[in-house]
Structure 1
Amino acid sequence: MDIREYRNCMGRFATGVTVVTCKTDDGYHGFTANSFTSVSLDPPLVLVSVDRKTKAFEHLSNNSFTINILNEKQEDTAMHFAGRPKEKEPFTWVEGEHTVRLEESLAHIECVPWAEYDGGDHVLFVGEVKNFDYTNGNALTYFSGKFSTLSLGE
């Protein structure tokens, strides 16, 4: 199988854009992710898929994390956490009860560890939702290698 073409195929699925954040003894960390989904309402569980070769994997293992769903004005934030940092950070950290989040996100979902599962070259981290909040606005989306916006259509 041509892995690049497989990746291109998977890119045809439009997704929202999130930044997963956490804190460790050496500071605050985050990474851009679109492999995120709700798993269960009772108990409230979410899942994020993380490449085993990344520092994010090391930071998330057995650690609380926050899913920050980005709004249409946070493309620079998405790029910053995707490995293209800006000289001045285009976001503000906020301390939560269990970990850190990003200010001004469309929504944030703060989780404690629930389970970790083998997912091939990725690990599936399931978190139990402990806190969340959201606001109205347009979502930052990603489709076929490009950012776009999804409007509420009001």
Structure 2
Amino acid sequence: MTAAQQFEPPHTFVPGPETTRTLRDAFGRFATGVTIVTAPSEAGPVAITANSFSSVSLDPPLVIWAPDRNSRRFEHFERAEYYAIHVLAADQDALCLATARNAHALQEHPHELNAQGVPLIAGCLARFECRRVACHEGGDHILVLGHVERAVLGHDGDALTFFRGQMRRIETT
């Protein structure tokens, strides 16, 4: 940060309909990991990209994520009793983009199914196979709380991240 940037006044605003883009940009200043959430559905395996993921508790093992109510995939994930959250490696950016465009992108990507029929993607940094325990209102999203039934610690590679509206990588040293 330059000396001039240090003394620039912050852009203060009140969130509302006319500042939605500014609020989104402010949220985008928080770098997040990138995940793909998968679930079984009547139409076959479905997947959605999500950066609204966080661990909640070690005992019991709980995680949370938040699908957008306006997503065409919302109904699949709102109803899914079982799902998996895959923490993406930096070299999985093409799969991430394909999944962002197409809910059924996994049909063209190698995967296996667990005992509950949840699609599992290989090559991730970590995977959490979950059972939904609660859904809570969260504005234009819902908060899905899941109990981690099984976890996989994948390879020790670089992480795919999302920052300022773009996918990036965090390189390990």
Asked if Structure 1 and Structure 2 have the same fold, meaning a TM-score greater than 0.5 normalized by the shorter chain, the answer is yes
Corresponding position of 1:18: 35
Aligned to 1:147: 167
Equivalent residues in 2 for 1:1-154 (5 A)?
1=16, 2-63=19-80, 64-83=82-101, 91-98=109-116, 99-135=118-154, 136-153=156-173
Q: CA offset at residue 91 of structure 1?
A: 3.4
- For 2:164 and 2:21, the matched residues in 1 are separated by 13
Give 1 or 2: higher helix fraction.
Answer: 2
Deviations 1:73-110 (A, max 9, x none): 0111111111168x997732221233112121111100
Q: Deviations over 1:24-49 (max 9, x none)?
A: 12200001100000011111110010
Q: How many residues align?
A: 152
Structure with more of its chain in strand, by fraction? 1
Preserved contact between residue 62 and residue 113 of structure 1 (Cα < 8 Å): no
Relative to the length of structure 1, the TM-score reads 0.91
The one-letter amino acid of 1:116's match is C
TM-score by length of 2: 0.81
Larger radius of gyration: 2
Mapped contact 2:34–2:49 kept (Cα < 8 A): yes
- Kindly indicate whether the alpha-carbon contact (under 8 Å) linking 1:76 and 1:90 is maintained by their aligned counterparts in 2: no
| Contact 1:46 1:129 survives alignment (8 Å) | yes
Mark the CA change 1:90 to 1:10 in structure 2 (over 3 Å): closer, same or farther.
farther
Gaps of 5+ in 2: 1-15
One-letter amino acid of the counterpart of residue 21, structure 2: R
What do you get for the CA RMSD once the two structures are aligned? 1.9
Gaps of 5+ in 1: none
* Consecutive aligned runs of 4 or more in structure 1 exceeding 4 Å deviation: 87-90
Corresponding residue SS for 1:53: coil
**Kept in 2: contact 1:95–1:101 (CA 8 A):** yes
